[in-house]
Amino acid sequence: MKKVAVIAIGGNAILQEGQRGTVEEQFANVLQSCEPIIDLLSEGYNVVLTHGNGPQVGNNLLRVERASDIVPPIPLDVCGAETQGSLGYIIQQSLYNRMRERGIKRNIATVITQVVVDKGDPAFHNPTKPIGPFYTREKAEEMAREKRAVFREDSGRGYRRVVPSPKPVEIVEKEAIKKLLAEDFLIIAVGGGGIPVIREGGTLRGVEAVIDKDHASALLALEIDADYLIVLTGVPQVAINYGKENQRFLKSMTAAEAKEHLAAGQFPAGSMGPKIEAALRFVEKGEGAAIITSIDRLKEALQGETGTRIIKGG
């Protein structure tokens, strides 16, 4: 059977810093990221792609705010669903066109994915994930009163809305994804961490939250018994003492070593931390390996030539 790789592509693969975020820019960026993924298909892997959607959701929320006196507003979970669809379209069309140019035939499908979170998750009492545009203090206080939302100062650039970021506990559409994999589909799923929903009796209900994309990708990889969780970022390898004279890149880590480095503060919460935590979740609960690398070194990382591989170990 083909080996299954869940590949979490970073936001810079879709929208780069300094860009306006036009559809044309996003198509161009995704096209540049297609080749390494298609190479893996040619090598005989089955692939499930996941992706971020932070800038796109922020833009959607801004549109909602600006048009609030013309059309009804939409909640955050629906914004997430909309961007799953639009970004899935951009990614799957780009891959289709590039594969056609290379003479590769493969069915592609985007699965709009709901991800269950625990309504008792402590994150709901401590919102920390910033979303949307920056506001002045006065505007943030006004919106906080009107919308009952929480706003916090962000890096000296103004005030942003913050929402809960609960841990994912279940992929609702996992069986559909498994069946598509069995039919040799290239699948795009869990966009932006998935649409956060809670269970109430036998029903599902969307909630105002954002799930970390890498944590949701790790859960998906576990639930479909993937062989690899590959988290793509801006650097080819993970380093300790990053940016210092004694910086050292790591070719591999056991789960125990990764935990030690994490506890020592080597992987900050705002950068590499969530990726390491997601890798640990997959490695400790599953039977596969996690790899962290950059998209241009994807093939070499799977061959063990670069990247940082995290294994169960001791």
> Is 213 among the catalytic positions?
yes
Q: Rounded distance, CA 147 to CA 142, Å? A: 9
Catalytic residue among 10, 12, 58, 88: 12
> Is 129 among the catalytic positions?
yes
Listing DSSP states for 38-95 in one string gives HHHHHTT-EEEEEE--HHHHHHHHHHHHHTTTTS----HHHHHHHHHHHHHHHHHHHH
Largest CA-CA distance found in the chain, in angstroms, rounded: 59
Catalytic residue among 53, 58, 80, 275: 275
Catalytic residue among 11, 52, 54, 132: 11
Q: Rounded distance, CA 297 to CA 106, Å? A: 23
Listing DSSP states for 79-104 in one string gives HHHHHHHHHHHHHHHHHHHHHHHTT-
Q: Rounded distance, CA 249 to CA 308, Å? A: 8
Catalytic residue among 46, 80, 129, 194: 129
> Is 11 among the catalytic positions?
yes
Local structure of residue 16 (DSSP, 8 states): -
> Is 246 among the catalytic positions?
no
Centre a 10 Å sphere on the Cβ of residue 56 and count the other Cβ atoms it contains: 25
Q: Rounded distance, CA 64 to CA 85, Å? A: 17
> Rounded to the nearest 5°, which phi and psi values hold at 140?
-65, -40
- Distances in Å between the Cα of 54 and the Cα atoms of 18, 149, 200, 227, 280 are 15, 18, 27, 27, 23
Catalytic residue among 46, 80, 213, 286: 213
Residue labelled with tokens 């590039």: 98
Residues with a catalytic annotation lie at 11-12, 129, 213, 275
